[in-house]
Structures are given as C-alpha cells and as structure tokens.
Amino acid sequence: MTLPSFPAAGRKLPPTVELTQHGTFRLISTGRLKDPVLLPLAANHGALEDLADLESVTNGRLQALESGLPDLDPRELVFGRAGHTFINAAFTHTRPSGNRFNGEDRGAWYCAFAADTAIGAVSYHLTRELASIDRFENVTDYAELIADFVGPFHDLRPLDRAAEPALHHDPAIAYPAGQALAARLRAEVASNGIVYTSVRHAGGTCLVAFRPDLVQNLRQGGIWRLEWQGVPTPSVKRMG
C-alpha cells in the first residue's frame, strides 16, 4: 500500500485540548439478532460480550488479533475488560482504502459526542452503499457503544472547515488528507487522536482515538433502527 504524503512540512500541527468526555457514542450493526435481543440491553459485562459473540467475525480479523496489521502491533490490543472484542475489532477490521483518519493498515475508534451525530455518520455511509446498487430498500439495527475519553487530543474544531481538506464532505478528498494528517500526528507527537466537527451532522462533534487503550469504560446503550423505504433518507426509530 502507498501511504499518503504528509501535509506540507511548514504547516503547523493542530492545537490540543485537554478532554474529559463522558458518554461518547459509536454505532455498530447488530447483524442478525433475534427479537428478544432487541429489547433494552442489560448494562453489564456479560451482555456486552454476548453481543460481541453475535457480531460477524472474519478470518482476516482473527489473523489480525494474532499477528497484527502492517501498522498495528498486536501488543497494542486490549484484553480482560468489558467490550474488548469491540475495541480490538475497531483497530483490526479495516476497510479497503481506510476511513477519514486511518488507512487500511491500521484501524481507529470513531465516535460522536451525541447519538444523533453517530446516526448521521452511519446513515450517510449506508445510504452511499444503497445508492451504488440503486436500491433504497433496507432495514438495519445499530447498537450504541458508549465510552469515555480523558487526556489531550488534537482539536480541529477551531480551524476553518472550508480550508481543512481532512474535513471535506467528499471522501475522495478528505480521506487522503485526513490519513496523512493522522499519520503525521502519530509519528511526530504520538497523538492520542483528533476531535473534529462532524461532516455528516450539522452542529455535531466527533472524536477519533488512535490507540485501543484510550477507549475507557465501554458499555452498551440502546438500539436504533434505520429503515430505507424507497428514498435516500431513512426513518430512524429507537428500539430500546
């Protein structure tokens, strides 16, 4: 894989903010869950691990847990805490060509400060997939994973979003720029991650954490159902 070039050497790094953020939201597809599981979820270790067992697991992900990825040492992964399966999966199960602030050689933990912002993100990406097959007929349930973050994070919020390519609405522009910025932050200052203005939900705030150990106090929340009925905009319903 060819890594994106770093931003111009003369460009200043983003400022940092000392963050204490309780209750960030990450949404994951529940997959093929049975109806009883769609009831309000029990907030305990066992229930969270049961949900993890129901998530699809690929051979590639299992291999990554054993041997890591080109840019991920398996010793960075976490074990022995509630939800460690989900945390590790975020870093070992990457998409081809990556996401806004990570390439395919290393994942990251993306979350939002509010559930509505997380819904905006997953809705955008699944809508794009449905558009690619020209069929807006789909029902997907998403479970909330709620986590806390404490420490210094680089902050893109004070920057002019229109002038920051990493926050462009078009992934073809934003992802190479964001991946290059993240690579520079990790290499030069061992950054914890980035806080940034949501691109998919007006007024929302998102966070990306660069290391598994930064995801603290992971617990589960409710379930949201997104349903597309012939149009690009889904209906959204909280199931529990």
What digits encode the pLDDT tens for the residues 84-101?
989 999 999 888 899 999
Does residue 100 fall inside a structural domain?
no
- CB atoms closer than 10 angstroms to residue 45: 13
17-65 residue pLDDT tens: 999 999 999 999 987 334 433 334 444 545 555 555 544 344 455 566 6
For residue 185, being part of any structural domain is answered with yes
146 in a structural domain: yes
Give how far Cα 151 sits from Cα of 103, 191, 214, Å.
24, 10, 9
Number of domains within the chain: 1
Is residue 134 in some structural domain?
yes
SS3 category, 79? coil
Q: Decide if 226 is inside a domain.
A: yes
3-class SS of residue 4: coil
Domain that holds residue 153: 19-42+109-238
DSSP 51: H
Mean pLDDT of 102-119: 96
| In-domain check, residue 150 | yes
- Measured CA to CA, the distance from residue 90 to residue 150 in angstroms comes to 19
Q: What is the pLDDT of residues 183-224, one digit of tens each?
A: 999 999 999 999 999 999 999 999 999 999 999 999 999 999
Q: Where are the alpha helices (DSSP H) in the chain?
A: 45-54, 59-67, 84-92, 115-132, 171-189
Residue 12 pLDDT level (bands cut at 50, 70, 90): confident
Question: Counting every residue, how long is the chain?
Answer: 240
Is the distance from CB of 77 to CB of 61 less than 8 angstroms? no
Per-residue pLDDT, 33: 38
Domain-embedded: residue 5: no
Rounded Cα gap, residues 191 and 178, in angstroms: 14
User: Cβ distance 225 to 123 under 8 Å?
Assistant: no
